[in-house]
Amino acid sequence: MSTHSRHIQLMDTTLRDGEQTQGVAFTPMEKVSIAKALLQFLRVDRIEVASARVSEGEKEAVSLINQWAQQEGFAERVEVLGFVDHTRSVDWIKSTGGRVINLLAKGSEKHCREQLGKTLEQHSIDVLQTIGYAHEQGLKINVYLEDWSNGYKDSRDYVYGLMERLQPAPISHFMLPDTLGVMSPDEVFASFSDMCQRYPALQFDFHPHNDYGLATANVMAAVRAGVSAVHCTVNCLGERAGNASIAEVAVVLRDKMSMELSVDESHLVRISEMVENFSGKRVAANAPIVGADVFTQTAGIHADGDQKGGLYKTKLGPERFSRIRSYALGKMSGKASLKKNLEQLELDLSEEDQKKVLARIVSIGDSKQTITTDDLPFIIADVLESKSYQHIKLLACSINSGLDLPSTVSIRVDVKGEKHQTTGAGSGGFDAFIDAIGKVLQHYDYTLPTLADYEIRIPKGGHTSALTECVITWDCGNELRKTRGVHVNQVFAGILATIKLINIQLHEMANSLEA
């Protein structure tokens, strides 16, 4: 058992194994962008970027990545999966400027016999032939033992026999995958302990899959057993249930096992968002480390404990990942939850007013509506009959849309007591409204921020008459802000969310002028 602190390499295979996720295909420039972010900002030790001989587009991407890596000193940290085909994979990798081949050998007797129709001896000869050629061409060589987890379980003699034949070869890492994600932590620890003790001079990588939801736990077991490197992907991308999450693995190895890592945690969320955008695969709001909600306290008792002494804070703090803690507002909110949000907005209310606002929050929460910090000023204004955030009021709005025709809108608004009426046109009702409201706001030296995201939701199982919730994320330069609108018409829900943002920013502009 190897429990002492040591450096564990993290090899990210988002661009190779992660791209086997159903429906995911990165463009060459997306691959280059992700590769740069992984090596330059997240600082992973190695990246696996492609499989050899897949397509011309893949070849273009790998060539661009290798060209950049050569210039930045990362050349030997970029790896490509190759096959036991003597010269073809090696030549493909060489033609892209690659320096490392991850050779895919058969790690189970069943795969060797039934898929290749070969004996251990025959397959070993083929593998060594490809290794010999790769070595002659100056490539660094790692070897995958495909389906090793099942191969070790079904026929250890085959695995040992393959290892005995390969270990004299110039192989840097023997990479042992749980290809189908079938192992438990106990099985991982026992099998890796055996491999590490039987071959103490060799470097072993663990390549886990998450079919049973055990990938991160299995990583811990493999590290305890003595592996020197672990393979991960961003956002758990990968075939079927995906691979191990690099965010989870990095944090667990540091916090729970005191291992040394190269990864810069402050960039985990940024890389997660990049891959989310390029892959089209949304990250669950409750995903550890990178999920939108994981640093949000909902229960009032938790906010109270944090207010009085940080009682519900742990080593897993949001600051590590360039994030902030928030306190949700809803039916389980208490005085402390409200107070935390008021502090964030730099608002001060009397005890009596806080009780009134809290009662309204709980009432709204009973109807299952999401309440954000940006909604709070409007709840306060409604409860206290305050005009502070009523800088702009939408008095009337009429939208006309037709099939294959541009949409038009006519609006009447009150801005700081002045009434305006104007029209706008656009590719849809909301776009037309943005055109019209922009004409009004130019008189007040105000320009709407650009949209970063636009989400429309209705309750699960909702009817056609159900309320529509529109959540808009705005790019406000140094921060992202979210506002919400609720209406039976989804276009008007977006309009109400826009009016909320304008009111907030006009209020801030007024405060800054007073200061």
User: 299 has which bridge partners?
Assistant: none
Residue 3: CB partners within 8 Å, gap ≥ 6? Answer: 224, 257
User: Does the pLDDT of residue 460 top 90, yes or no?
Assistant: no
Domains of the chain as residue ranges with CATH: 9-279 (3.20.20.70), 296-378 (no CATH), 392-514 (3.30.160.270)
pTM listed for this prediction: 0.67
Q: Is the pLDDT of residue 118 over 90?
A: yes
Please confirm, yes or no, whether 146 is among the known catalytic residues.
yes
- Average the pLDDT over 38-47 and give the result: 97
Distance CA 403, CA 296 (A): 43
> DSSP strand E in 116-228: where?
140-146, 173-177, 204-207
Structure confidence by residue, pLDDT tens digits, 186-226: 999 999 999 999 999 999 999 999 999 999 999 999 999 99
The yes-or-no verdict on residue 272 having pLDDT over 90 is yes
344: pLDDT strictly greater than 80: no
Q: What is the mean pLDDT of residues 148-171?
A: 96
Coil, helix or strand for 350?
coil
Cβ atoms within 10 Å of 439's Cβ, excluding its own: 13
Please give the Cα distance from 207 to 46 (Å, whole number).
13
Calculate the alpha carbon distances from 260 to 11, 228, 254 in Å: 14, 11, 7
Output the pLDDT for position 105.
Answer: 97
Lowest mean pLDDT among 149-163, 193-207, 218-232, 393-407: 393-407
The closest alpha carbon to 333, from 367, 295, 352, 360, belongs to 360
Strand locations in 116-255, DSSP E?
140-146, 173-177, 204-207, 229-232
Confidence of residue 320 (pLDDT cuts 50, 70, 90): confident
Which residues touch 453 (CB under 8 Å, ≥6 apart)?
Answer: 471, 472, 473
Give the sign of the dihedral formed by CA 339, CA 343, CA 344, CA 348: positive
Between 63-77, 174-188, 412-426, 490-504, the lowest mean confidence (pLDDT) is in 490-504
**Cα–Cα distance measured from residue 269 to residue 273, given in angstroms and rounded to the nearest whole number:** 6
Higher per-residue confidence, 401 vs 350: 401
459 pLDDT more than 60: no
Active site residue 479: no
Report the pLDDT averaged over residues 361-379: 59
Q: With bands split at pLDDT 50, 70 and 90, how would you rate the model's confidence at 336?
A: low
d(CA 141, CA 202): 13
pLDDT for residue 298 is more than 80: no
Residue 310 has pLDDT above 70, yes or no: no
What's the pLDDT at 193? 97
Which segment of 239-248, 437-446, 452-461 scores lowest on mean pLDDT?
Answer: 452-461
Distance CA 44, CA 261 (A): 9
- Single out the residue of 272, 257, 281, 502 nearest to residue 392, CA to CA: 502
Of 9-13, 232-236, 284-288, least confident by mean pLDDT is: 284-288
Q: At residue 455, what is the residue type?
A: E
- Nearest 5°: the CA angle 474, 480, 481 is 65
Residue type, 30: E
Mean pLDDT of all residues belonging to the chain? 87
- The secondary structure element, H or E, covering residue 485 is strand 480-487
Q: Both tokens of residue 161?
A: 């026999």
pLDDT at 142: 98
Residue 264, CA distances (Å) to 37, 40, 156, 206, 321 in order: 11, 10, 38, 21, 9
The helix (run of H) or strand (run of E) holding residue 495 is helix 490-514
Which residue among 16, 46, 77, 481 is the active-site one? 16
**What is the per-residue pLDDT for 372?**
61
pLDDT above 90 (res 162): yes
Mean pLDDT of 404-430: 94
Task: Sort strands 418-426 and 204-207 into parallel, antiparallel or unpaired.
Answer: unpaired
Report pLDDT for 302: 45
Q: What is the pLDDT of residue 353?
A: 75
Q: Does the structure show a pLDDT above 70 at 34?
A: yes
**Catalytic residue (one of 19, 48, 109, 146):** 146
Structure tokens at 44: 């992973």
